[in-house]
């Protein structure tokens, strides 16, 4: 083989067409719309019965009702108990479940095509005749209340809860979860009433993908769903999301947090916005992946975090743009600086040619891989249908990504990323964080993890002050699930800056960017694993010759406490 | 129903290069995606008794760069093309695979051929990957509750060292390894004549063949690896062991049986017996222990298929205060019942449907097709078995399952590992 073929990566072959068959459509007299994509490559079928009703359609005062309805559908029907139903489904080697999102409720079933009729009957059974047995409902309420408690211990949940509230205001997208009182209120009667109102054929879309004959299926569906009574689809009016004109900071105080969860967000585009593809490519360049700008900056260059990303959430009626990272407490302010630097840069300068090409080739490359399995293909078709995207959306997806130019990226960045109006949410130790970040916004509010507003003066001015002397060799003991692991920390100090070495049984890591504020030390040590540096974040408080604190790494779920003294 | 169910066969084309590399093409143009799987015929079973952990060490070394691909470059190239990739190690083989948009087939072949030809086996890479493996061992085995139990029970089941030692291996052995040892291992086991290359997905078979010849054709072959003996006596090496696990929050146990090699009629019958016993919410043990008695938090079972003697496991983490011996009795009773009466007609119907379903779903993704084909090619010398395996499994009768359970599971010739929490609480 000639050497030059060997030394450079080969160019791609000619583009391969992605031929997704066109859907065949039909409507029953009661208004049920049916979309069929015949795909007989394998003897499989995927059915979806989707309702244009999701969490945002919860009746006022009944947050969580849609979710509960989705979960309870398979927990008992007129003809089967929960257990009998599970056995029926498994006996066929098939699957059936329901899921609820902001905008939709989707009942999904998959089976071998030879059991197409059986699984359709089971699907109809849960949709038309759920019985919401008292015992199962009681179990649902107990499990859900437990889950809600667990959620409040998760900083990611707390950050999203605040960000959604700030971005969406009085719009129902602002609420991401019910509370315990909402769950306790859910009873058979409210479920039955809600089921009767929302599960009507003229509010539904039936999608079939796979080894089916469209005409035969239409007849079959008519036999199963023909008598299903249509009803009145309630038209909903929602409050408009607020127009923001200033930048704000919201801190959720978790005392002792070694990390700060940061979310920066603003309102962006809904799913059908004509800017969609340009925003998608822009987001890929900026922060969607592990070679995007914010990752390269905050993780690879600065080492503030294990991962930093931007993301788009494009819903039916609106959407938002967010930049997120979990960073060491001491670099919370510095991380905001880098985020705003990147958000500014993408709005000021045209993206480079190679950067644009890499982002587009990632997006066009990964797209067909998502359509490989029937489930994957079905999900793409379901989204195209439910959001009302153009008929040729899937067929032209790659062309549309390819057509995005550097100028498009710049234009949509200016329009949809608005750093001066952003809501900044930080879940972390408010005492540690407040003075670091205050200058980044016009206003600051602080909450506890239960969502109760706190007086800002409690936290103001606590941090800061002259760095104490922290230099020397520290012998520390980490408590790892009951095991005592010795580590040593050798620190050289120059004012606020600290460098040195972390020595552990797992390997050693250099400290290059440590910082002392008052009596607090924060530093990271990168220990190499599989060629990737794994970051250990150290957060300590010195008191003379003794030190306590926590050490955390992406590979351990919780920060590990340590204590020890200067040798 | 098994008589009427027919799947159209996969298009399988085989050829070899003059250096001994075996290639299997499975063209399927449905979706413009291609998967590449490279299976090297080397696993922990090939390791010398004083050099364990080498097969797995290579899974790390293979991402450290080669003549024309920089360190971590493999990952970057694949990701920028919108693809996915990974590598894994077992007792039987080490595999590397990627899924790419169809037009990037040359990129995948270029990357795989460059590391097969010219992996950077340097002192620096060896040193840092040795540390990476140690770190992985601490994280995934030593510092995980229940992390070591599968390695321990394999030592109880197998008597032959080739079968009984762990894939992660000994850290002392890795420390003792010289860069020459590692280069030698690479030369012997990562030779084209010790590997199978499978392409599945959207490509023109002629173009693919030319590309494979271009990229792999001039990689030199090597003398065959040394012979291997994986034979075993039928008795297990040890019946009982108590293991103090400092990290385990609850007691647990694991039962393991030594059974005949993969694809033997007995193995297949026991694989189906496993589905009846522990697969899914309607399985016998789930219904008895998780639902009925409400005595276990987690129940699991699986078969470990090898070319030589293989194994089957059932384990459970009981709820606090529950009597472990009673739970084991229930398990052995169900096994006894299955050995006496065999599966019910309903159970046979369920596993039939599940087998068909599994087999059809496997065919959906180019990566799962490539992996199955590679296993049949490497282990059995016949990639076309991918087209007949379902029929083979469906032909197994209830009586065969009953008999195999009676012979291999309903016996005291098994290993029982008791996990005792030994942390401070």
B422 interfacial to chain A (CB closer than 8 Å): no
Nearest CA in chain B to A41: B30
Which tokens belong to A247?
């930048």
CA distance B417 to chain A (A): 23
Residue B221 falls inside a structural domain: no
CA distance A92 to chain B (A): 6
What does the pLDDT average to over A485-499? 89
CB atoms within 10 A of CB B304: 18
Of the candidates B97, B168, B158, the residue with the CA atom closest to the CA atom of residue B306 = B158
B64 interfacial to chain A (CB closer than 8 Å): yes
DSSP codes, A520-549: EEEEEEEEEETTEEEEEEEEEEEETTEEEE
**Quick one: B172 and B248 in the same domain?**
no
A7 interfacial to chain B (CB closer than 8 Å): yes
Contacts (Cβ under 8 Å, ≥6 apart) of A488: A473, A474, A475, A476, A502, A503, A567
CB atoms within 10 A of CB B255: 20
What does the pLDDT average to over A13-41? 90
CATH number at residue B123: 3.30.830.10
For chain B, state the CA radius of gyration.
23
Which residues of chain B make contact with A45, given a CB cutoff of 8 A? none
In whole angstroms, what separates CA A226 from the centre of its chain? 38
CA distance B162 to chain A (A): 26
**Quick one: B191 and B323 in the same domain?**
no
CATH number for A248-457 (one of 3.30.830.10, 3.30.310.50, 1.10.10.10, 1.25.40.10): it is 3.30.830.10
**Would you say residue B292 has pLDDT above 80?**
no
Q: What are the angstrom distances between the C-alpha of A103 and each of A178, A436, B136?
A: 16, 38, 42
* Residue A550, pLDDT score: 84
* Residue A504, pLDDT score: 81
What distance in Å separates the CA atoms of residue B4 and residue A112, rounded to the nearest whole number? 14
Residue B380 falls inside a structural domain: yes
DSSP code of A76?
B
Nearest CA in chain B to A85: B282
Say what the ipTM of the complex is.
0.83
CA torsion, ordered A417, A422, A428, A433, to nearest 10 deg: 110
**Would you say residue B303 has pLDDT above 60?**
yes
What distance in Å separates the CA atoms of residue B43 and residue B225, rounded to the nearest whole number? 12
* Residue A452, pLDDT score: 93
Nearest CA in chain B to A530: B132
Which residues of chain B make contact with A367, given a CB cutoff of 8 A? 82
Chain A residues 513-542 with CB within 8 Å of chain B: 527-531, 534
**Would you say residue A3 has pLDDT above 80?**
no
* Residue A406, pLDDT score: 98
**Interface contact flag, A10 B110, Cβ < 8 Å:** yes
pLDDT in tens, B46-104: 999 999 999 999 999 999 999 999 987 898 899 889 898 999 999 999 999 999 999 99
- Which stretch of A375-384, A523-532, B306-315, B397-406 has the lowest confidence by average pLDDT? A523-532
Confidence of residue A120 (pLDDT cuts 50, 70, 90): very high
* Residue B140, pLDDT score: 79
**Would you say residue A466 has pLDDT above 70?**
no
Which tokens belong to A127?
């949709």
Residue B347 falls inside a structural domain: yes
Better-scored residue on pLDDT, B207 or A536: B207
Helix (H, G, I), strand (E, B) or coil at A156: helix
What is the domain extent for residue B338?
A: 240-421
CATH number for A24-225 (one of 3.30.830.10, 3.20.20.450, 3.40.50.620, 3.40.50.970): it is 3.30.830.10
Mean pLDDT, all residues of chain A: 91
Helix (H, G, I), strand (E, B) or coil at B345: helix
**Strands A546-552, B33-40: pairing kind:** unpaired
CB atoms within 10 A of CB B316: 27
Residue B351 falls inside a structural domain: yes
**Strands B414-421, B310-318: pairing kind:** unpaired
**Quick one: B198 and B247 in the same domain?**
no
CA torsion, ordered A358, A361, A364, A370, to nearest 10 deg: -80
Better-scored residue on pLDDT, A521 or A187: A187
Of the candidates A114, A524, A180, the residue with the CA atom closest to the CA atom of residue A334 = A524
What does the pLDDT average to over A3-29? 87
pLDDT in tens, B363-372: 999 999 999 9
Question: Token match 């070394």: residue?
Answer: B61
pLDDT in tens, A289-317: 888 999 989 987 888 887 899 999 999 99
Of the candidates A502, A500, A528, the residue with the CA atom closest to the CA atom of residue A514 = A500
**Quick one: B31 and B108 in the same domain?**
yes
Confidence of residue A514 (pLDDT cuts 50, 70, 90): confident
What does the pLDDT average to over A516-529? 80
CA distance B8 to chain A (A): 9
Backbone angles phi, psi at A526, to 5 degrees: -100, 115
Contacts (Cβ under 8 Å, ≥6 apart) of A521: A470, A491, A498, A514, A515, A538, A539, A540, A541, A542, A547, A549
Which tokens belong to B79?
């990701």
Q: Give the residue from B177, B201, B216 where a domain finishes.
A: B216
Domains A248-457 and A472-566 share a fold: no
Residue B230 falls inside a structural domain: no
**Quick one: B209 and B265 in the same domain?**
no
**Which residue among B106, B361, B364 sits closest to A13, beta carbon to beta carbon?**
B106
Residue B6 falls inside a structural domain: no
A196 interfacial to chain B (CB closer than 8 Å): no
* Residue B179, pLDDT score: 94
**Interface contact flag, A6 B281, Cβ < 8 Å:** no
Contacts (Cβ under 8 Å, ≥6 apart) of A167: A173, A174, A241, A265, A266, A267, A320, A423
Find out whether A64 and A205 touch, Cβ atoms under 8 Å: no
**Interface contact flag, A483 B246, Cβ < 8 Å:** yes
A243 interfacial to chain B (CB closer than 8 Å): no
- Which stretch of A143-147, A268-272, B23-27 has the lowest confidence by average pLDDT? A143-147
Confidence of residue A557 (pLDDT cuts 50, 70, 90): low
* Alpha helix (H) residue ranges in B5-97: 54-61, 73-80
**Quick one: B252 and B193 in the same domain?**
no
**Interface contact flag, B353 A14, Cβ < 8 Å:** no
**Quick one: B79 and B157 in the same domain?**
yes
**Quick one: B317 and B375 in the same domain?**
yes
What does the pLDDT average to over B266-295? 89
* Residue A530, pLDDT score: 59
**Would you say residue A15 has pLDDT above 80?**
no
Residue B228 falls inside a structural domain: no
**Is residue B160 left, alpha or beta, with left meaning phi > 0 and alpha meaning psi from -120 to 50?**
beta
What distance in Å separates the CA atoms of residue A9 and residue A15, rounded to the nearest whole number? 17
* Residue A519, pLDDT score: 75
**Quick one: B78 and B209 in the same domain?**
yes
pLDDT in tens, B329-354: 999 999 999 999 999 999 999 999 99
Confidence of residue B2 (pLDDT cuts 50, 70, 90): very low
* Residue B425, pLDDT score: 43
**Interface contact flag, A361 B81, Cβ < 8 Å:** yes
The contacts found for A539-548 with CB under 8 angstroms, 24 or more apart, are: A539/A258, A539/A328, A539/A329, A539/A330, A542/A468, A542/A470, A543/A519, A547/A474, A547/A476, A547/A521
Helix (H, G, I), strand (E, B) or coil at A555: coil
B5 interfacial to chain A (CB closer than 8 Å): yes
What distance in Å separates the CA atoms of residue B20 and residue A301, rounded to the nearest whole number? 45
Number of domains in chain B: 2
Kind plus residue range of the DSSP H or E element containing B312: strand B310-318
- Parse chain A into domains and list their residue ranges: 24-225, 248-457, 472-566
**Interface contact flag, B5 A114, Cβ < 8 Å:** yes
For chain A, state the CA radius of gyration.
27
Of the candidates A437, A233, A410, the residue with the CA atom closest to the CA atom of residue A330 = A437
What does the pLDDT average to over B369-391? 97
* Residue A302, pLDDT score: 85
CA distance B192 to chain A (A): 16
pLDDT in tens, A541-553: 888 888 988 888 7
**Quick one: B285 and B406 in the same domain?**
yes
**Is residue B50 left, alpha or beta, with left meaning phi > 0 and alpha meaning psi from -120 to 50?**
alpha
**Quick one: B71 and B144 in the same domain?**
yes
Residue B231 falls inside a structural domain: no
B79 interfacial to chain A (CB closer than 8 Å): yes
For domain A472-566, the CATH architecture is Beta Barrel (2.40)
**Interface contact flag, B102 A9, Cβ < 8 Å:** no
Of the candidates A402, A28, A364, the residue with the CA atom closest to the CA atom of residue A223 = A28
**Would you say residue B1 has pLDDT above 70?**
no
Establish how many alpha carbons lie within 13 A of residue B281's alpha carbon, considering only the half-sphere containing its beta carbon: 14
- Please state whether the predicted TM-score (pTM) of the whole model is above 0.90: no
pLDDT in tens, A319-377: 999 999 999 888 999 999 999 999 999 999 999 999 999 999 999 989 988 888 899 99
pLDDT in tens, B128-183: 888 888 878 877 788 778 889 999 999 999 999 999 999 999 999 999 999 999 99
**Quick one: B171 and B270 in the same domain?**
no
Percent with pLDDT over 70 in chain B: 98
* Residue A526, pLDDT score: 83
């Amino acid at each position: 083989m000639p050497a030059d073929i060997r030394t450079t990566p080969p160019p791609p072959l000619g583009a391969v067409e992605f031929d997704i068959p066109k859907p065949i459509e039909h409507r029953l007299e009661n208004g049920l719309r049916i979309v069929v994509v015949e795909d007989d490559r394998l003897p499989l079928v995927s059915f979806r019965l989707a309702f244009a009703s999701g969490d945002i359609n919860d009746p006022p005062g009944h947050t969580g009702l849609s979710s509960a309805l989705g979960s309870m559908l398979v927990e008992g029907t007129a003809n089967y108990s929960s257990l009998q139903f599970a056995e029926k489904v498994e006996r066929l080697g098939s699957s059936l479940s329901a899921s609820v999102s902001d905008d939709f409720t989707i009942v999904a079933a998959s089976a071998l095509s030879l059991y197409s009729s059986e699984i359709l009957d089971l699907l109809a059974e849960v949709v038309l005749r759920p019985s919401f047995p008292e015992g199962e409902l009681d179990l649902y309420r107990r499990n859900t209340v437990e889950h809600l408690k667990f959620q409040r211990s998760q900083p990611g949940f707390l950050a999203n809860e605040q960000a959604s509230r700030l971005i969406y205001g009085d719009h129902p997208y602002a609420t991401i979860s019910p509370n315990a009182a909402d769950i306790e209120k859910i009873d058979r009667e409210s479920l039955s009433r809600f089921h009767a109102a929302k599960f009507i054929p003229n509010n539904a879309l039936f999608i079939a993908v796979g080894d089916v004959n469209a005409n035969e299926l239409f007849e079959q569906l008519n036999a199963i769903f023909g008598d299903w009574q249509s009803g009145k689809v309630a038209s909903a009016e929602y409050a408009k999301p607020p127009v923001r004109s200033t930048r704000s900071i919201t801190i959720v105080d978790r005392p002792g947090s070694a990390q700060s969860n940061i979310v920066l967000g603003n309102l962006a585009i809904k799913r059908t916005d004509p800017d969609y593809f340009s925003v998608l490519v822009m987001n890929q360049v900026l922060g969607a992946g592990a070679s995007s700008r914010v990752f390269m900056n905050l993780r690879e260059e600065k080492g503030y975090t294990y991962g930093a990303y931007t993301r788009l959430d494009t819903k039916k009626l609106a959407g938002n743009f967010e930049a997120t990272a979990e960073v060491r407490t001491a670099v919370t302010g510095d991380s905001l600086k880098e985020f705003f630097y990147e958000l500014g840069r993408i709005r000021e300068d045209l993206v480079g040619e190679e950067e644009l090409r890499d982002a587009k080739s990632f997006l066009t490359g990964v797209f067909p891989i998502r359509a490989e399995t029937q489930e994957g293909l079905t999900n793409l078709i379901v989204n195209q249908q439910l959001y009302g995207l153009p008929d040729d959306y899937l067929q032209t997806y790659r062309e549309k990504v390819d057509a995005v130019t550097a100028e498009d990226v710049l234009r949509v960045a200016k329009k949809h990323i608005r750093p001066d109006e952003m809501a900044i949410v930080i879940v972390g130790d408010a005492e540690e964080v407040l003075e670091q970040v205050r200058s980044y916004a016009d206003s600051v509010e602080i909450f506890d993890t239960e969502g109760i507003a706190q007086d800002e003066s409690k936290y103001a001015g606590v941090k800061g002050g002259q760095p104490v002397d922290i230099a020397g060799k520290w012998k520390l003991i980490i408590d790892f699930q009951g095991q005592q692991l010795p580590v040593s920390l050798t620190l050289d100090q120059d004012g606020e800056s600290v460098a040195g070495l972390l020595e552990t049984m797992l390997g050693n890591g250099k400290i290059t960017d440590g910082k002392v504020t008052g009596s607090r030390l924060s530093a990271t040590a990168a220990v190499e694993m599989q060629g990737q540096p794994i970051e250990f974040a150290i957060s300590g408080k010195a008191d003379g010759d003794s030190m306590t604190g926590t050490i955390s790494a992406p590979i351990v779920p919780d920060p590990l406490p340590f204590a020890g003294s200067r040798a | 129903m098994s008589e009427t169910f027919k799947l159209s066969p996969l298009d399988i084309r085989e050829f070899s290069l003059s250096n001994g590399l075996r290639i299997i093409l499975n063209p399927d143009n449905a979706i413009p995606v291609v998967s590449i799987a490279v299976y090297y015929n080397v696993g922990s079973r090939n390791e010398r008794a004083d050099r364990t952990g080498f097969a797995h060490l290579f899974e790390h070394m293979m991402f450290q760069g080669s003549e024309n691909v920089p360190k971590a470059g493999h990952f970057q190239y694949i990701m920028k093309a919108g693809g996915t990739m990974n590598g894994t190690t077992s007792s039987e083989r080490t595999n590397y695979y990627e899924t790419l948009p169809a037009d990037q087939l040359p990129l995948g072949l270029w990357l795989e051929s460059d590391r097969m030809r010219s992996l950077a086996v340097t002192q620096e890479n060896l040193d840092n990957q040795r540390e990476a493996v140690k770190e992985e061992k601490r994280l995934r085995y030593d510092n995980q509750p229940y992390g070591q139990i599968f390695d321990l029970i394999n030592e109880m089941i197998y008597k032959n060292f080739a079968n009984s030692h762990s894939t992660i291996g000994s850290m002392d052995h890795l420390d003792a390894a010289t860069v020459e040892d590692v280069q030698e291992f690479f030369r012997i086991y990562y030779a084209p004549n010790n590997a199978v290359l499978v392409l599945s997905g959207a490509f023109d078979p002629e173009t693919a063949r030319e590309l494979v010849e271009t990229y792999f054709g001039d990689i030199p072959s090597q003398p065959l690896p040394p012979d291997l003996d994986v034979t075993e006596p039928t008795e297990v090496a040890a019946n009982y062991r108590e293991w103090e696990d400092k990290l385990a929050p609850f007691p647990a146990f694991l039962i393991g049986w030594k059974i005949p090699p993969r694809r033997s009629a007995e193995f297949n019958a026991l694989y189906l017996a496993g589905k009846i016993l522990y697969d899914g919410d309607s399985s016998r043990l789930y219904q008895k222990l998780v639902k009925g008695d409400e005595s276990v938090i987690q129940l699991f079972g699986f078969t470990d298929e090898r070319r030589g003697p293989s194994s089957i496991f059932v384990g459970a983490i009981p709820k606090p205060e529950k009597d472990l011996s009673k739970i084991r009795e229930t398990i052995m009773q169900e096994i006894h019942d299955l050995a006496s009466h065999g599966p019910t007609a309903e159970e046979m119907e369920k596993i039939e449907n599940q087998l068909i379903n599994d087999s059809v779903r496997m065919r959906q993704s180019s990566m799962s097709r490539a992996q199955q084909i590679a296993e049949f090619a490497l282990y059995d010398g016949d990639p076309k078995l991918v087209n007949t395996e379902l029929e083979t499994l469906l032909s197994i009768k209830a009586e065969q399952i009953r008999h195999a359970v009676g012979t291999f599971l309903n016996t005291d010739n098994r290993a029982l590992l008791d996990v005792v929490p030994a942390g401070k609480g």
